[in-house]
A and B are shown apart, each in its own frame.
Chain A
Amino acid sequence: GAGVSQSPSNKVTEKGKDVELRCDPISGHTALYWYRQRLGQGLEFLIYFQGNSAPDKSGLPSDRFSAERTGESVSTLTIQRTQQEDSAVYLCASRQYYASYEQYFGPGTRLTVT
């Protein structure tokens, strides 16, 4: 596709429910990143994929958070038993590994836990 896409754009869920957030990277981009951005704050790194392996999971805040990636395409970020502090915008970015160092970002998913 022309850019990184994310779905849904907005998600409202009740506390305790599980949610899945989806990211479609730019075709051919082997590296994929997930970030969390709380209201008015900077980007908090969550996890990085190179292909479908995740060499860096250091940013996942708890074992309620997990992510997977199918080959070099779609990635899903799953949050189990959501808490109100999980409310944030979740941004996905991709880049063409070693060919270019800038990351291309999707529009984000705004998650609201009520």
Chain B
Amino acid sequence: AQTVTQSQPEMSVQEAETVTLSCTYDTSESNYYLFWYKQPPSRQMILVIRQEAYKQQNATENRFSVNFQKAAKSFSLKISDSQLGDTAMYFCAFVLMNRDDKIIFGKGTRLHILP
């Protein structure tokens, strides 16, 4: 069975700093997708970034980037120049490709950006 682990329940950083959220996962499969979702206080889940496991290059989306280490089964999210609007719950998620399967979510990291 696939599992996703987020070891940091809660984090706080000052505005404009860089912060890294950790995520590890476990699977015996080789073809999958990884995601980071953001859930602000409005509770709307928003996709932040996605990574295909077959791609070696780390995905980036503006201030958001990932460090994907396939051998280590690690998928961390780096937020550069953090902004107050980044305050949210962040969920790491995993899904197998070409399978009739659900996305597996981690338990989340609550991130506070301090003014």
Contacts and interface: CB of A to CB of B under 8 A. Distances in A.
B91 A43 contact: yes
Given A43-B91, A43-B105, A105 B98 contact: no
Would you call the interface of chain A mostly helix, strand, loop, or mixed? Answer: strand
Given A45-B102, A55-B100, A102 B108 contact: no
B43 A108 contact: yes
A107 B102 contact: no
Given A41-B107, A42-B107, A42-B108, A89 B43 contact: yes
Contacts, number: 46
B97 interface: yes
B33 A101 contact: yes
Interface stretch (B44-52, B70-78, B80-88): B44-52
A7 B107 CA distance: 25
Nearest to B107: A42
Interface of A: 33, 37, 40-43, 45, 48, 50, 55-56, 89, 91, 93, 98, 101-105, 107-108, 110
Given A98-B98, A105-B44, 4 more contacts: A42-B106, A48-B102, A93-B45, A102-B33
